[in-house]
Amino acid sequence: MRGLAAFEGAWQIARLIDDRRTGQTGRFDGIARLVPDTAGLLYREEGVLRLGEAPAMNATRSYLWRAEGAAIAVYFEDGRLFHHFDPALTRPGADHACDPDSYTVLYDFSLWPEWRAVWNVSGPRKAYRMESTYRRG
């Protein structure tokens, strides 16, 4: 069983982005660090984002990961809930409504400690698929 502590440490990320609205593809390569804070783990990723023909740019993202019973709750930095998932499942999923768009994630832990998160986002403002692969790094 994977609890919150199993995710602690550094992970290499390779992320592919398929923006179905613009027809653009992208890639993010970087490192995610999950480090202990006072209530769980702080998730911070840093890397290089390439979208279409645009110049590469540095990109960062942060979340708060919290153990809530058997689940892991992921919060935005400002404390708003993003989603929950059950790390004991091989392929847990979750949803997040961000009116008017909706986000659906499917995690895949079948090759642990390598794992994936595949997001499908749809709505009037957004339409993309984003697949992130995490490897210890």
Task: Report CA-CA distances (Å) from 52 to 26, 49, 58, 97.
Answer: 6, 10, 15, 27
pLDDT band per the 50, 70, 90 thresholds, residue 7: very high
Is the domain 4-136 a CATH 2.40.128.20 member?
yes
Average pLDDT, the chain: 95
pLDDT tens per residue across span 87-115: 999 999 999 988 899 999 999 999 999 99
Please tell me whether the overall predicted TM-score, pTM, comes out greater than 0.75 for this model: yes
Using pLDDT thresholds of 50, 70 and 90, give the confidence band for residue 1: low
